[in-house]
């Protein structure tokens, strides 16, 4: 299972990112848990300075922009792909 | 299989780009004759009459401002996507105070900024070892020398005033940053900010964006921005049009006269609550300048609108104490007033 973190204090863009992520998980049929991270200290600990940020399994995959649903779904399926090849 | 299904069919990117550019250019070129024809031939208004001038001004300015926003904000946003603050802070951390402050003010122009990112931005700078004065220079210049203001100033007033505005904005940011840096303001930063450590330097960033993706992002951002500010812009242009048509020049010139020293602080005071509406105010400012409001007062008004943001001050309260917020605000306000008085005194 993947852990997807949406980093952002709760501005409009953060909410759009969360919605897009939910649709993307559905679209890709991924097994994932979505966590919202609103604490500034925690957000900063990922090294990003522009919100919203998207973290999949501890890895920052996007920051300072709201990727489209298709883009997020592709990121997810790519990770599944790499894992399948490695395993 | 899934990866293939996720790719929706899109027309070739180059074709979309060429079509968009030629549409924009055509619209830009036919705007003035079209507005003229609509006002005086279709509506049959009298050339030189008050109502005729006001409506012609409105019909000319609405598409003009709209085209400027769509075209240039997209271009600027695209360019700025190559200068995220995450990259910029590395450039600022290792420098001396003066070089760092100047660089921060300059980078503030090209770096995207939104007030909801102010806190992570502040923490990120502090955590990378960027001095506070340098950080404040960035915080002042980033919203003040902002793309909407520059674009509209350039399009409506010409390059001279846009560049003057930019130069004055940078000067306020640099001097403000230097002053705040000298005051040992670290005392007034919330202690937890100084303790944040970003992943012990083992951050795994895996972000690659193609040119096409960046352009699409820029376009999406611009559309959203324009949708949000368009109603204000239209109201602003309508008010501008009414002043253009009906308010006598002598009235504004006498209220804003250089000899009237109170006019400037009052204008700055009026600007503070107008924060979100820079785009709406510029068309009004355009008319006021045309009707004889001195340039210094005009520039100060513009600067105060974009640089003094109450929401941003409230958000920054999370990381710095009220005394420092007050100091920061005071430095910006005094800086703006000095710019205004200086330009009025030179009598440009």
Reported as a single tens digit per residue, the pLDDT across B278-316 is: 677 777 888 888 888 888 888 898 888 888 888 888 888
pLDDT, residue A35, reads 94
| Inter-chain CB proximity B117 and A62 less than 8 Å | no
pTM: 0.81
- The mean of the pLDDT values for chain B is 83
Rounded to an integer, the average pLDDT of B248-252 is 73
CATH label of the domain that carries residue A20: 3.40.30.10
Residues of chain B with pLDDT > 90: what percent?
22
pLDDT at B202: 41
What are the tens digits of pLDDT across the range B40-68?
888 888 888 888 888 888 898 889 888 98
Q: Does the pLDDT value for residue B251 go beyond 80? A: no
Task: Please give the pLDDT value at position B113.
Answer: 67
Reported as half-sphere exposure (CB side, CA atoms, 13 A), residue B27 has a value of 16
pLDDT in tens, B63-115: 988 898 899 889 888 988 888 888 888 888 878 889 999 999 988 887 766 66
Domain range for B85: 41-190+211-346
Q: Does residue B191 register a pLDDT over 70?
A: yes
Q: How many domains does chain A have?
A: 1
For residue B320, what pLDDT is reported?
92
**Is residue B207 within 8 angstroms of chain A, CB to CB?**
yes
Q: Which helix (H) or strand (E) holds A16?
A: helix A12-28
What's the pLDDT at B134? 93
Residue with tokens 């600007």: B271
Please state the rounded mean pLDDT for residues A46-74: 89
User: Is there a contact between A47 and B198 if contact means CB atoms under 8 Å apart?
Assistant: yes
What does the pLDDT read at residue B4? 46
Among B7, B116, B127, B213, most A C-beta atoms within 10 A, so best to mutate, is B116
What's the CA gap between B33 and B316, in Å, rounded? Answer: 48
Residue among A29, A48, A81 whose CB faces B86 most closely: A48
What is the per-residue pLDDT for A22?
Answer: 95
Which pLDDT belongs to residue B257?
66
With beta carbons under 8 A apart, name residues in chain A contacting B320. Answer: none
Domain that holds residue A69: 2-86
Query: Which residues 11-40 of A have a C-beta within 8 angstroms of B?
Result: 11, 13-14, 27-29, 40
Q: Among A65-69, B273-277, B335-339, whose mean pLDDT is lowest?
A: B273-277
Structure tokens at A54: 């998207």
> Which residues touch A66 (CB under 8 Å, ≥6 apart)?
A13, A16, A17, A20, A52, B220
pLDDT of residue B135: 92
The residue count of chain A comes to 87
pLDDT of residue A24: 93
Q: For residue B1, is it within any domain?
A: no
- Residues B120 and A43 sit within 8 Å (Cβ to Cβ): yes
How many domains are there within chain B?
1
ipTM for the assembly: 0.78
Contact B189, B324 (CB under 8 A): yes
pLDDT of residue B5: 47
Q: Is the pLDDT of residue B271 over 60?
A: yes
Asked which of B123-127, B186-190, B270-274 is least confident by mean pLDDT, the reply is B270-274
């Amino acid at each position: 299972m993947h852990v997807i973190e949406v980093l952002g204090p709760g501005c409009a863009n953060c909410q759009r990112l969360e919605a897009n992520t939910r649709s993307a998980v559905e679209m890709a049929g991924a097994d994932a848990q979505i966590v919202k991270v609103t604490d500034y200290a925690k957000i900063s600990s990922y090294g990003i300075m522009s919100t919203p940020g998207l973290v999949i399994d501890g890895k920052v995959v996007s920051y300072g922009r709201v990727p489209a649903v298709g883009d997020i779904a592709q990121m997810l399926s790519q990770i599944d792909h790499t894992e399948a090849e490695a395993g | 299989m899934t990866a293939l299904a996720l790719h929706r069919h899109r027309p070739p990117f180059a074709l979309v780009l060429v079509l968009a550019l030629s549409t924009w250019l055509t619209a830009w070129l036919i705007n003035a004759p079209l507005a003229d024809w609509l006002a005086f031939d279709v509506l049959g208004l009298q050339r030189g009459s008050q109502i005729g001038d006001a409506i012609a001004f409105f019909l000319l300015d609405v598409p003009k401002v709209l085209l400027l926003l769509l075209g240039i904000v997209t271009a600027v946003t695209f360019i700025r996507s190559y200068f995220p603050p995450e990259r910029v802070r590395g450039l600022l951390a290792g420098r001396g105070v003066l070089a760092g402050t100047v660089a921060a003010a300059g980078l503030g122009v090209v770096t995207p900024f939104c007030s909801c990112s102010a806190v992570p931005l502040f923490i990120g700078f502090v955590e990378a070892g960027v001095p506070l004065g340098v950080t404040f220079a960035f915080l002042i210049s980033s919203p003040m020398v902002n793309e909407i203001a520059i674009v509209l100033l350039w399009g409506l007033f010409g390059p001279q005033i846009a560049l003057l505005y930019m130069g004055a904005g940078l000067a306020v940011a640099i001097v403000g940053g230097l002053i705040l840096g000298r005051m040992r303001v670290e005392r007034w930063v919330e202690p937890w900010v100084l303790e944040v450590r970003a992943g012990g330097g083992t951050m795994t960033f895996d972000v690659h964006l193609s040119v096409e993706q960046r352009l699409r992002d820029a376009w999406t951002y611009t559309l959203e921005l324009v949708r949000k500010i368009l109603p204000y812009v239209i109201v602003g242009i309508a008010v501008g049009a009414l002043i253009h048509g009906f308010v006598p020049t002598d009235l504004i010139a006498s209220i804003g006269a250089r000899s009237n020293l109170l006019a400037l602080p009052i204008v700055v005071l009026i600007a503070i609550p107008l924060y979100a509406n820079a785009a709406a105010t510029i068309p009004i400012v355009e008319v006021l300048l045309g009707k004889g409001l001195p340039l210094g007062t005009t520039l100060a008004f513009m600067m105060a609108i974009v640089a003094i943001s109450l929401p941003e001050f409230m958000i920054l309260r999370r990381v710095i104490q009220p005394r420092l917020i007050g100091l920061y605000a005071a430095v910006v306000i005094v800086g703006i007033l000095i710019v205004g008085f200086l330009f009025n005194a030179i009598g440009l």
